[in-house]
Amino acid sequence: MNLFDDIKSLVLDTLAAMTAQGALPTGLDLGNVNVEPPRDPAHGDMATNAAMVLAKPAGLKPRDIAQGLVERLSDDPRIALAEVAGPGFINLRLADAVWQGLVGQVVDAGTSYGRSRMGQGRKVNIEYVSANPTGPMHVGHTRGAVFGDALANLLAYAGHDVTREYYINDGGAQVDVLARSVYLRYLEAHGQEVAFEDGTYPGDYLIEVGQALKAKVGDAYVGQPEDVWLTEVRAFSTDAMMALIREDLAALGVKMDSFFSEKALYGTGRIEAALEDLAEKGLIYQGVLEPPKGKTPDDWEPREQTLFRSTAHGDDVDRPVKKSDGGWTYFAPDIAYHFDKVSRGFDMLVDVFGADHGGYVKRMKAAVSALSDGRVPLEVKLIQLVKLTQGGEPVKMSKRAGTFVTLRDVVDQVGADVTRFVMLTRKNDAPLDFDFDKVLEQSKDNPVFYVQYAHARVCSVLRKAAAAGIAVDDTSLAATDLAALDHPAELAVARKLAEWPRLVEIAAQTGEPHRIAFYLYDLASEFHTLWNRGNDTPTLRFLPDDPAGGAAKIVLPRAVAVVISAGLGILGVKPLDEMR
RNA sequence: GGUCGCAUAGCUCAGCUGGAUAGAGUGUCGCCCUCCGAAGGCGAAGGUCGAAGGUUCGAAUCCUUCUGCGACCGCCA
């Protein structure tokens, strides 16, 4: 259900009729014809560019085509007024009955109003979070987690078959560092004095891991060389860290469908298999890279190594897959991982990375393109930094002093819902300011509050109506006659509701969940405006003075609540029934 | 040196995937608030959309060049 699509169909049908009648030449490309809400409400409810787009290919003047369209469109009962404007726009004013019908349909459809089949069930894999299993999640991870989760919800809402996946980086050197750090805590648990040198993690969160290790193995590893305990301590530690991370994710309301272990790629032939696939395509060779221009490292020396010919798929230089010591580079297991994703039959891949990984985008795209023979697109979403402040003052963070702000700190202070909403009020590629005080402020300039307040107000109205003996269940409301819903302030809210399905598709298409948050703010704003009008204009109040007046005015606020609820659902935020 | 991203009101940011007179919040100024929930309401002022070209009926939006800021640039993940 999308009112804009309905009217666009009407326009296209009308154009087809004009062609059949000889008013337009045959074979015109109608692909650029669209129907949109005009910026200025004075221009009507919807506008189409059909006449302007078709003028040139049809060899006719825009206004002549427009005139013909206007005459025919006016015959449709849904069109109250059609007129030519400006350079050849056709402005359409819809009949009140159309808006009234829409409001009823919204309540009838509930939170599935706005669902789209745009995705056509395509299988999409979204990889996000993917924090190293070396400690609790911090604020930096939080934004990526919220974004990926909301994007997953959004794509699912728009008709995609979504898999949410976490890539566990448990195969590299950093988990050896973790294991050594835990080993130190283990010795500490046995009463030894230990020193945390550079290259170890001093964080307190490892103390209990060391104690747990002691509880499990006793003193079996005390005084033993690394090769005796490293493998097992590594596994023990990463398991403990993943348990910690899963708790963090749960606190934020993020639920993954799948966890994929990097370690599982090593020693199983899977990296080799992926590279063999590339080799068969002639994309692996031994070669020497040019030094990077402008900033040559001091210790640079030409070296022959195993390279992936990523330039064949759009990258700027070819990329090494093996280190000088013969081990894999980080890129190699990543190739294997994405080979696995492609093999699992996904139609589209999405990677959510921190902005500092921007340098890897081209090579990953090249790899996926090569591995899938160009079949599977990879979309990489880069997440910019979060600037934490409190009362306007920056929150100091120092990794060395161990005073970094964790996801848990944030969620404990402001709650998961507020955290999620605020993190989605900026484009993913723009830095985000997060002020611990401001996000809890109960005022109009706090979008979280403003949107929740609108929902709570509707719930309050429904409670009062129910207390007055009015039937407020959705079935009754959807069946209510809305002919009295004709005030411009009321119709303005209905127009906003009509935009919802369209907005969902645009947001899904662009992969930008923040558009949902901004839309909800706009919708809440329209609603609050109508509410305030009720102060001066009693006929605009939602509750009739006489309960016999019935539910006619309650359907619209209920429809607003339905859409807010659907939108917040995509953002992963629970709507509030009251604000107290 | 190269790649990618960003640049819109004093400030923080939207801008509907090329549309008509570029919007919101905040701040400033003016008026209002015994009224379903005033954790306010109404209105005003405030812009060479970083710069210059180009594409076309039409550009904040697309292309090119330039300026400024940020991230990244064989063996770290």
Q: Which nucleotide is nearest to A301 (CA to C1')?
A: B74
Q: Which nucleotide is nearest to A533 (CA to C1')?
A: B41
Distance A215 CA to B6 C1' (A): 52
Q: Which nucleotide is nearest to A134 (CA to C1')?
A: B77
Note the pLDDT of residue A501: 94
**Structure tokens given for A540:** 């605009």
Q: Within 13 Å and on the Cβ side, how many CA atoms surround A272?
A: 5
Distance A98 CA to B38 C1' (A): 34
Q: Count the Cβ atoms, other than its own, within 10 Å of residue A552.
A: 18
For A468-483, how does the pLDDT look when each residue is reduced to its tens digit (9 = 90+)? 888 999 999 999 999 9
Distance A517 CA to B37 C1' (A): 24
Q: CA–CA separation, A496 vs A39, rounded Å?
A: 12
Distance A39 CA to B23 C1' (A): 9
Distance A355 CA to B77 C1' (A): 14
**Mean pLDDT on A20-37:** 89
Distance A233 CA to B2 C1' (A): 43
Q: Which nucleotide is nearest to A295 (CA to C1')?
A: B1
Question: In which band, very low, low, confident or very high, does the pLDDT at A397 lie, cut at 50, 70 and 90?
Answer: low
Question: In which band, very low, low, confident or very high, does the pLDDT at A294 lie, cut at 50, 70 and 90?
Answer: low
Note the pLDDT of residue A402: 56
Q: Which nucleotide is nearest to A292 (CA to C1')?
A: B73
Q: CA–CA separation, A337 vs A433, rounded Å?
A: 34
Q: Is the pLDDT reported for residue A269 higher than 60?
A: yes
Average pLDDT, chain A: 91
| CA torsion through residues A147, A149, A152, A153, sign | negative
Q: What angle do CA A493, A498, A501 make, to 5 degrees?
A: 135
Tokens 């060779």, located at residue: A285
Distance A351 CA to B4 C1' (A): 16
Q: Count the Cβ atoms, other than its own, within 10 Å of residue A5.
A: 14
Note the pLDDT of residue A32: 85
For A91-136, how does the pLDDT look when each residue is reduced to its tens digit (9 = 90+)? 999 999 999 999 999 999 999 999 999 999 999 999 999 989 999 9
Note whether A43 and A92 are within 8 A (CB).
no
Note whether A406 and A137 are within 8 A (CB).
yes
**Structure tokens given for A574:** 């629970």
Q: Which nucleotide is nearest to A509 (CA to C1')?
A: B17
Q: Which of A76-90, A110-124, A141-155, A563-577 has the weakest average pLDDT?
A: A76-90
Distance A342 CA to B1 C1' (A): 36
Q: Which protein residue lies nearest to nucleotide B7, measured between its Cα and the C1' atom?
A: A430
Note the pLDDT of residue A297: 65
Q: Which nucleotide is nearest to A446 (CA to C1')?
A: B25
**Structure tokens given for A223:** 């005084």
What ipTM did this prediction achieve? 0.93
Q: Which nucleotide is nearest to A87 (CA to C1')?
A: B57
Q: Is the pLDDT reported for residue A242 higher than 90?
A: yes
Question: In which band, very low, low, confident or very high, does the pLDDT at A298 lie, cut at 50, 70 and 90?
Answer: low
Note the pLDDT of residue A277: 95
Q: Tell me which H or E stretch contains A383.
A: strand A378-383
**Structure tokens given for A243:** 């348990």
Q: Which nucleotide is nearest to A307 (CA to C1')?
A: B74
Q: Is the pLDDT reported for residue A250 higher than 90?
A: yes
Distance A515 CA to B23 C1' (A): 15
Distance A133 CA to B66 C1' (A): 45
Residue A28 DSSP SS3: coil
Question: In which band, very low, low, confident or very high, does the pLDDT at A80 lie, cut at 50, 70 and 90?
Answer: very high
Q: Is the pLDDT reported for residue A400 higher than 60?
A: no
Instruction: Tell how far CA A418 is from the center of its chain.
Output: 16
Q: Which protein residue lies nearest to nucleotide B72, measured between its Cα and the C1' atom?
A: A359
Distance A286 CA to B30 C1' (A): 76
For A161-189, how does the pLDDT look when each residue is reduced to its tens digit (9 = 90+)? 999 999 999 988 889 999 999 999 999 99
Choose between A327 and A547: higher pLDDT.
A327
Question: What secondary structure does DSSP assign to A206-249, as a single string?
Answer: GHHHHHHHHHHHTTTTTT--HHHHHHHHHHHHHHHHHHHHHHHH
Rg of the Cα trace of chain A?
Answer: 29
**Structure tokens given for A385:** 């930094």
Q: Is the pLDDT reported for residue A72 higher than 90?
A: yes
**Mean pLDDT on A493-509:** 93
Q: Which protein residue lies nearest to nucleotide B16, measured between its Cα and the C1' atom?
A: A503
Q: Which protein residue lies nearest to nucleotide B22, measured between its Cα and the C1' atom?
A: A39
User: Could you say which nucleotides of strand B lie within 7 A of any protein CB atom?
Assistant: 1-6, 12-17, 19-26, 35-42, 56-58, 70-77
Question: In which band, very low, low, confident or very high, does the pLDDT at A296 lie, cut at 50, 70 and 90?
Answer: low
What chain A holds in terms of domains, given with CATH numbers, is: 3-94 (3.30.1360.70), 123-171+258-383 (3.40.50.620), 173-233 (no CATH), 386-440 (no CATH), 442-571 (1.10.730.10)
Q: Is the pLDDT reported for residue A219 higher than 90?
A: yes
Note the pLDDT of residue A454: 94
The pLDDT > 70 percentage for chain A reads 97
